[in-house]
């Protein structure tokens, strides 16, 4: 109700006109359906529960501008609305409209400080191992063919035999094969069945449209990714791909489920998941010095609310560093470029720091990773910073006074580098050789970036040791609380829908919902609460007051 009073009707029907036709039966207002979806995310409701709130909750009717007698709509309308929005690429329209309205009120603006971080999102499908994936994909294709062309299936396949193997879902927990030999044999059986089924579907006498079924296309892709057809002794053999011998597709294209073709397998340190990755960017305005804290355990609210300005959903294997430029471009399109952008080391590179400052005037406040050599891993010995670099003379001098012999510009992983190598004659008799290098056939080798980037990296590493820089960079940690709020309020950690498009829609509408919750708290003068405060700590603060 407060949002309606302050912002009025946020989402006009005209903003979604391209996704809805002018002819046919009159439908429900797409602008209202957008607001219903936002409120649904704010309260983490199912479609049916959201429709019930539209019918009977007066606050929802007030927000939507409905008459008291309005009976709402069927729950399936929300699914149709999401499909139309995704098909026409309008997922971010609601966030654009909200931020535009807030810009007019002066609640968000360009400049200032913003921060970004990512979190993993689990797909709305069961996680399958390679054995389950092979069997379940065959079962899904059989189900689709049996529904689309039952007469063809009855004529071509031995239905009773196939039903015995694929009549119920393939689940290792319900039908666990005993030994590794049995599991390998079962995997080969699934592969042979997949090849036999595909050959039957692609036979010249078979109806052409059967091969166009999505489940059949998925079976073809997953079979190619996991099996090989070879010839052994003049006989055709279907064998399972082995990663070390035959190779497997990279994670960015490898399918992990026959029911969500966009879900990918991701890993980050000790974390492994199947699904997507969510990036959240928000304003990070600190409270003013004159603001008063109402009571212990509470923080003063900032002069403007910390609004989420952008969300991006990607495949799980996409590294964070690939999102920096797209995030900046999206903010530029909204006219909300920050002056300072706080990021963790996963987003950082020397090229991005230089490029963001030169092209957009954005200062990236982020730590750059140190090297990967043994000295950096063990934090001992002579690291790269211990060597004096004479760029004009094109040589390096080690702490013991020896000078390099080779200075060679090169390319490594598409980046310009300079390889500096010391002579074995100088490094061999060195008394501290063990602290400097383990190489036995040559001397110490350094890999340097071009001079401007090298100096930037060294300046960044020196700044990280400064307490003032650390205190400033601590502002980035607040985005962890936003991720926690997204998980607790909207259930963002687990995707509601299948497919990257609808998962992206869910995250955008969840971001709008969180913004409305924050606006309501800010308009009502509610201060920010401390995160990760235990009940015991709260009791201590209360007694101290």
- Whether 345 and 378 map to the same domain: the answer is no
What pLDDT score was predicted for residue 531?
Answer: 60
- Whether 144 and 196 map to the same domain: the answer is yes
Helices and strands (H and E) in the chain: how many: 21, 15
pTM of the model: 0.88
* CATH classification of the domain holding 324: 3.30.420.10
Separation between Cα atoms, residue 487 and residue 278, nearest integer Å: 11
What pLDDT score was predicted for residue 43?
Answer: 95
Residue 42, in any domain of the structure: yes
Q: 107-116, 163-172, 376-385 — which one is most confidently predicted on average?
A: 107-116
Q: Tens of pLDDT along 392-424?
A: 999 999 888 889 889 999 988 888 899 999 988
Separation between Cα atoms, residue 44 and residue 492, nearest integer Å: 9
Residue 257, in any domain of the structure: no
Residue 263, in any domain of the structure: no
- Whether 160 and 220 map to the same domain: the answer is yes
Q: Which residues contact 220 (CB under 8 A, 6 or more apart)?
A: 198
Phi-psi region of 81 (alpha: psi -120 to 50; beta: other; left: phi over 0): alpha
Residue 187, in any domain of the structure: yes
Q: How far is CA 401 from the centre of its chain?
A: 48
- Whether 283 and 406 map to the same domain: the answer is no
Domain interval for residue 174: 130-240
pLDDT range class, residue 288, cuts 50, 70, 90: low
- Whether 340 and 478 map to the same domain: the answer is yes
Residue 104, in any domain of the structure: no
Which of 445, 467, 489 is the last residue before a domain boundary?
Answer: 467
pLDDT higher than 70, residue 249: yes
Mean pLDDT over all residues of the chain?
89
- Whether 323 and 360 map to the same domain: the answer is yes
Beta bridge partners of 395: 390
Residue 223, in any domain of the structure: yes
pLDDT higher than 90, residue 100: yes
Burial class (CB in 10 A: 0-12, 13-18, 19+), 200: middle
- Whether 449 and 490 map to the same domain: the answer is no
Strands 415-421 and 406-412: antiparallel
pLDDT higher than 70, residue 276: yes
Q: Tens of pLDDT along 311-337?
A: 999 999 999 999 999 999 999 999 999
Q: Tens of pLDDT along 362-380?
A: 999 999 877 667 777 767 7
- Whether 37 and 85 map to the same domain: the answer is yes
Give me the percent of the chain exceeding a pLDDT of 90. 58
- Whether 354 and 429 map to the same domain: the answer is no
Name the DSSP class of 476: G
Beta bridge partners of 308: 282
* Cβ 48 vs Cβ 40: under 8 Å: no
Closest CA to 501 of 39, 82, 124: 82
- Whether 135 and 226 map to the same domain: the answer is yes
Question: Among 89-93, 223-227, 448-452, which stretch is predicted with the lowest mean pLDDT?
Answer: 448-452
Domain count of the chain? Answer: 4
pLDDT higher than 60, residue 293: no
* Cβ 219 vs Cβ 137: under 8 Å: yes
- Whether 278 and 347 map to the same domain: the answer is yes
Residue 282, in any domain of the structure: yes
Residue 526, in any domain of the structure: yes
- Whether 476 and 359 map to the same domain: the answer is yes
């Amino acid at each position: 109700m407060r949002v309606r009073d302050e912002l009025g009707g946020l989402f006009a029907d005209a903003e979604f006109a391209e996704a809805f036709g002018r002819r046919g039966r009159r439908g429900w207002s797409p602008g209202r359906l957008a607001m219903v979806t936002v409120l649904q995310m704010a309260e983490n409701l199912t479609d049916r529960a959201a429709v019930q709130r539209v019918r009977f909750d007066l606050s929802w009717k007030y927000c939507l501008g409905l008459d008291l007698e309005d009976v709402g709509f069927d729950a399936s309308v929300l699914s149709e609305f999401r499909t139309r929005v995704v098909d026409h690429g309008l997922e971010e329209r609601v966030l654009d409209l909200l931020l535009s309205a807030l810009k007019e009120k002066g609640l968000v603006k360009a400049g200032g400080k913003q921060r970004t971080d990512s979190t993993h999102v689990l797909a709305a499908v069961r996680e399958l191992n390679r054995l389950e994936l092979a069997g379940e994909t065959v079962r899904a294709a059989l189900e689709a063919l049996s529904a689309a062309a039952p007469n063809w299936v009855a004529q071509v396949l031995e239905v009773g035999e196939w039903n015995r193997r694929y009549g119920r879902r393939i689940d290792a927990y319900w039908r666990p094969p005993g030994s590794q030999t049995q599991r390998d044999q079962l995997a080969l059986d699934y592969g042979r069945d997949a090849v036999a089924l595909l050959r039957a579907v692609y036979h010249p006498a078979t109806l052409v449209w059967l091969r166009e079924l999505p489940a059949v296309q998925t079976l073809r892709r997953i079979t190619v990714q996991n099996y090989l057809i070879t010839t052994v002794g003049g006989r055709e053999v279907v064998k399972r791909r082995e990663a070390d011998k035959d190779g497997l597709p990279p994670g960015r294209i490898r399918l992990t489920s026959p029911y969500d073709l966009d879900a990918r397998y991701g890993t980050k340190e000790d974390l492994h998941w199947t699904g997507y990755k969510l990036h959240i960017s928000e304003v990070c305005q600190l409270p003013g010095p004159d603001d008063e804290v109402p009571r212990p355990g509470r923080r003063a609210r900032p002069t403007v609310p910390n609004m989420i300005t952008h969300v991006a959903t990607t495949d799980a294997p996409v590294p964070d560093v690939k999102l920096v430029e797209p995030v900046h471009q999206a903010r530029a399109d909204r006219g909300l470029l920050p002056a300072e952008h706080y990021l963790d080391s996963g987003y950082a590179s020397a090229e991005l720091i230089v490029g963001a400052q030169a092209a957009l005037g954005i200062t990236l406040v982020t730590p750059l990773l140190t090297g990967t050599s043994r000295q950096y891993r063990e934090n001992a010995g002579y690291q790269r910073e211990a060597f004096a670099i004479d760029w004009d003379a094109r040589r390096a001098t080690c702490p013991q006074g020896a000078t390099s012999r080779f200075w060679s510009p090169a390319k490594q992983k598409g980046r310009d580098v300079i390889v500096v190598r010391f002579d074995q004659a100088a490094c061999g008799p060195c008394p501290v050789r063990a602290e400097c290098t383990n190489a036995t056939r040559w001397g110490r080798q350094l890999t340097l970036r071009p001079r401007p980037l090298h100096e930037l990296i060294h300046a960044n590493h020196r700044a990280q040791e400064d307490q003032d820089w650390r205190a400033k960079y601590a502002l980035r940690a607040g985005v962890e609380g936003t991720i926690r709020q997204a998980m607790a309020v909207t259930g963002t950690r687990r995707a509601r829908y299948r497919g990257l498009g609808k998962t992206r829609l869910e995250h955008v509408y969840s971001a709008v919902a969180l913004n409305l919750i924050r606006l309501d708290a800010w308009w009502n003068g509610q201060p920010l609460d401390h995160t990760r405060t235990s009940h015991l700590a709260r009791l201590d603060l209360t007694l101290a007051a």
